[in-house]
Every structure is written in C-alpha cells, then in structure tokens.
Homo-oligomer: A and B are copies of this chain.
Amino acid sequence: MGRSSKKTALGAGIRLDSFLPYRLNRLAGEVSRRLSAVYSGRFGLDIPEWRVLATLSSRGMATAQEIVASTRTHKSTISRAVATLTERGLVERTGSPSDGRELVLQLTDSGLRMMSELVPLVLEAEQEILGQLGVEERAQLLKAIAAVEAALGLGDEEGTS
C-alpha cells in the first residue's frame, strides 16, 4: 500500500507501444489468426500443415529437415504435420536413394490441386491485410524484416532460384 505518493511506477516503466518485440508479436499473432481462417475452414489445415504445404509449393520438394530449417518450426511438429498430410494424400514421401534416413517430400497431384485453389485465396487475404501499405512501404517492411533477421544471424534458407 505505501507506494502512492511517488511516481515510481513510471520510473521502472517500459513504453510498450514503442517496444518493438511487443508490437511485432502482437501484429504477427493477429495476421496469423486472420490467415489461418482461410485455410482452416474449407481446407481443414492447421498452421504447421499449411507451412509444410507452402514450403513444398515454393520449393517443389524438400526433406523434413529442410522444412524445419526454413520455417523454424520444431521438428516434432513438422513430423506430425507431414504424417497427417501424407494420410490425407496431399504429400508423398519417397526414400532418398542417396541417404536412407531422409525422406524426400513432395506434393501429390491432389496436393497440387488443393494448393492451386488455396494459394490465390491466401494471397488475396494478404492483400487485404496489407491494404493500406503502398508497394514501396511493403518492400521496405520486407527489407526491415530481412535486416533484423540478419542481425539475429538467421541465414536466408530460401534460395533465390
């Protein structure tokens, strides 16, 4: 009780609205929520599953390990997502001839069909979210993100190809 007379509360204070990690998190959470509405409803995908499909769609093929690295999602989470996607016939795994431990993943025809339906919807949602930003602002935002990632020592796993 005896803290009333001093403004110590502000002395120890942090200004949350200019604290970048806080703002970043809040925004990312909200964006995630909106996007997931697109693929969870009609397509019955959760976030890790979407990430796997998106990565495969972006790369053509990949091992689970590569997906882990590029999405920075825990390997057990990816493993489970791949398992259910395989059961649903959207992804197929073939043993690598060069290394018998790894499984090469790629979209099945059915998976490709789903993605060709889903991707435009997701991109549309992205447009809606980024509505206010001009093309340049958008590019700057991406650049800023890349710079922070670089500062964190995160290599860009996605090649330019």
Contacts and interface: CB of A to CB of B under 8 A. Distances in A.
A45 to B, nearest CB: 14
A135 B109 CA distance: 49
Contact of A132 (B8, B17, B19, B151): B151
B115 A131 contact: no
B13 A24 contact: no
Contact of A8 (B8, B12, B29, B112): B112
Interface string A1-38: 11100001111111111111111111111111011000
22 contacts: A2-B109, A8-B116, A9-B61, A10-B60, A12-B107, A16-B58, A19-B54, A19-B126, A20-B126, A20-B130, A22-B51, A23-B145, A24-B27, A26-B71, A26-B72, A26-B149, A27-B145, A27-B148, A27-B149, A30-B149, A132-B150, A140-B144
